[in-house]
Structure 1
Amino acid sequence: MYIFRPVTVADLPAVEALAAQSPVGVTSLPANREALLHKIQASQDALAAEVRLYGEERYFFTVEDRASGRLLGLSGLVASAGYNEPFYSFRNELLIHASPELGIHNKIHALSLCHDLTGHSLLTSFFILPELGAGPAAELLSRSRLLFMAGHPARFADTVVSEMLGVTREDGSSPFWDAVGRVFFGLDYHEAELICGVKGRKFIAELMRQHPIYVPLLSAEAQAVIGEVGEGSRIAFDILEREGFETENYLDIFDGGPTLLGRLPGLRSYAGSRVCRVRLGPVQGGGPYLLANGGLSDFCATLARLHPPAHGEVTVPPDVAAALGVAEGEMVRLAAL
């Protein structure tokens, strides 16, 4: 059985091993023990806090294979992107250059540095072991975050964003970064991502060009990858797209990958979830459901085959209820897969 739960300090060695395998562009999973420990402790503090107005809280989760005790992946939530420092993106836009006297009217594709997405909640840190692919563990790892948000809506904004990795070359370098970021930073893609993951994004405002970047002046290779999803984010992108997220006119500033945006009332697992009373019993057949307890620090979720709820009740196998820490008559939140 797979269980989605908060990461604890005891998980640090396993988290380090997973972070070391994650793609370079996942800046929120740096291969840095101190940064990962701080991330875990920040999550534990957020789960223990009484939150009346969301802000700097960060939550860090994992999926555990209960049979083996192995951690299979990581994912996170940020209550308010850019709470302590601006959350930078490139805004995709068209600039008009016109001369009525010459009868010339041109629309030029440009990228403008902005922090329009500051204040939205952020889905982050998604990484699933490659051998598991787009299977049940990946669905649980990604979508359970929305059940957590549904159970604790005061802790999050009404709009959620998630940055997808852009296209990289076989050697791990980024065509977009080489054409844009490297010019101003003098760093390669890997170095820039590591700095961002460990020290934050303040250096972006200090070094990045503040004026629009004209896309036609970039290399053909860089132009071709703008807004394209890299292989490292394909699973995450597909899951979130099915949830109801859409690509907006924003790009990741490092690799030019797309940014997804969703409004919670329009997201499948959030808006379609129901709170039901547990009735313990065997379940024959049924369909796949995501279900979670109503906890905070002890929040957990899993996948199970259930029959549709009736009269506010749902029959849950005893082993599933035990894994969630719920008893007969207690409440669970569930969403059909």
Structure 2
Amino acid sequence: MLVLRTVQPTDLPQLQRLARESLVGVTSLPDDSARLRDRILDSCSSLQQNIESPGPQNYFFVLEDQTNRRLAGCSEIVATTGSSEPFYSLRNRPFTSASRELNIKHGVPALSLCQDLNGHSLLRGFHIDTALVRTPHSELLSRARLLFIAAHAQRFADAVISEIVGFSSDDGHSPFWDAVGKHFFDLPYVEAEHLCGLKSRTFLAHLMPQYPIYVSMLPQAAQDCIGRVHPDGQEAFDILAREGFETNSYVDLFDGGPTLYARTLDIRSIAQSQIAQVITGESIDARGRYLVSNVSLEDYRAIVADLDYRAGQPVALDYGMCQALQVSEGSTIRLIAL
């Protein structure tokens, strides 16, 4: 059985393996032991804090195969962007110029460096083994974070965003980066993303142009990348889109990938998930497949389970499910249909 759980310091070696396998552009999963260790320890510390309002905390989760203790994926939530350093993105909106004498008014799409998305909760770091792509366990890895937010709402902002990796070629070539960022850094896209993962995007953003970049003046290949999803990032996009997330006028600083946005209380797994009490049983007449989580903080866990769920009634879990979730008779769980 695959179980999503909170990260532990002993997960570091396996997280390094996942980082090496992750998609270029997932800067929140750097292939660097020191940075990963800091991320793990920050998560452990965040889970131990008594939080009444969101701040700089991060919550790191791993997907573990219980049979061999192998990690098959990871994902993360940042409670509030901009708490520890500015959160930069590019705003893609028309820049309007007008001439009263000529009776001309014209809008030209332009990209402007901004910090508009400070103060939102951020879903990031989604990575799953290739063999599990487009399976229920991809849903588990992404959506269990939303069940965690539902269980601990005071720790998160009123809106949630997620940056989806933008287009780059198989050899790590990004037309958007070549047309924009490379002129200010003289670095290949892969190296710039690597530096962002090791340090932060802040020092790179400081070198970006402070004036609007007119989209029509960019090469067509770069224009075509604005808001375009990398093929390997499409599943992460699709899962959140089904949750009610929508694209907006913001794109990633480096590759032009889209940013998804949703009001927290409108997200499907938050708005529609149900609370139920556990009863234990040896056999279950399953009628549907669900994402199921406990409501713990430090020992948060979630699984995919076939259940017989009826609204307002206790839910029967077998021994293996109870062990995976670390719950027992009478415990509270949260669940939502896949």
TM-score normalised according to structure 2 size: 0.97
Task: For 1:1-337, list aligned pairs within 5 A.
Answer: 1-281=1-281, 282-337=283-338
- Between the aligned partners of 2:106 and 2:152, the Cα distance in structure 1 is 48
Which whole-Å CA distance do the structure 1 matches of 2:170 and 2:322 have between them? Answer: 45
Moved more, 262-271 or 33-42: 262-271
Between the aligned partners of 2:310 and 2:15, the Cα distance in structure 1 is 36
Contact preservation (8 Å) 2:88, 2:202: no
* Alpha-carbon distance in 1 for matches of 2:324, 2:334: 14
- CA shift at 1:121, angstroms? 0.2
Tell me the C-alpha RMSD between the 2 structures: 1.1
Q: Deviations over 1:161-197 (max 9, x none)?
A: 0000111022112110110111112221112111111
Contact 2:284-2:308 within 8 A present in 1 as well: yes
Residue 224 of structure 2 aligns to a residue whose secondary structure is helix
One-letter code aligned to 1:306: L
Rounded Cα–Cα distance in structure 2 between residues aligned with 1:56 and 1:261: 19
Query: For 1:71, what is the secondary structure of its paired residue?
Result: strand
**Residues 314/232 of structure 1: CA separation in 2 closer, same or farther (3 Å cut):** same
Q: Distance in 2 between matches of 1:120 and 1:265?
A: 13
**Contact 1:309/1:315 (8 A) holds in 2:** no
SS in 2 for 1:225: coil
Q: Quick one: which amino acid aligns to residue 168 of structure 1?
A: S
TM-score (normalised: structure 1):
0.98
CA separation in 1, counterparts of 2:266 and 2:206?
Answer: 37
Counterpart-to-counterpart distance in 1, 2:135 and 2:30: 25
Aligned to 2:184, the other structure's residue is in SS state: helix
Deviation at 1:60, TM superposition (A): 0.8
Equivalent residues, number? 337
Alpha-carbon distance between aligned partners in 2 of 1:163 and 1:202, rounded to the nearest angstrom: 16
Structure 1 residues without counterparts, runs of 5 or longer: none
Deviates more, 1:304-313 or 1:136-145: 304-313
- How far off its partner does 1:309 sit? 2.8
Contact kept, 8 Å, 2:87 with 2:202, in 1: the verdict is no
Structure 1 residue 310, shift from structure 2 partner: 4.1
Shift of 1:304: 0.4
State the alpha-carbon separation in 2 of the partners of residues 134 and 311 from structure 1.
Answer: 31
- Equivalent-residue separation in structure 2 for 1:217 and 1:158 (angstroms): 37
Structure 2 portions without partners, runs of 5+: none
Give the Å deviation of 1:137: 1.6
**What is the CA distance between 1:211 and its match in structure 2?**
0.6
Is 1:6–1:297's contact at 8 Å kept on the other side of the alignment?
yes
Of 268-277 and 249-258, the range deviating more from structure 2: 268-277
How many percent identity over aligned positions? 48
Structure-2 separation of matches of 1:326 and 1:75: 23
What are the superposed Cα offsets for residues 256-293 of structure 1, whole Å, 9 maximum, x if unpaired?
A: 00000011221111111111111112212310111111
Q: Which amino acid counterpart does residue 304 of structure 2 have in structure 1?
A: L
What is the Cα deviation at residue 212 of structure 1?
0.5
Contact 2:277/2:314 (8 A) holds in 1 = yes
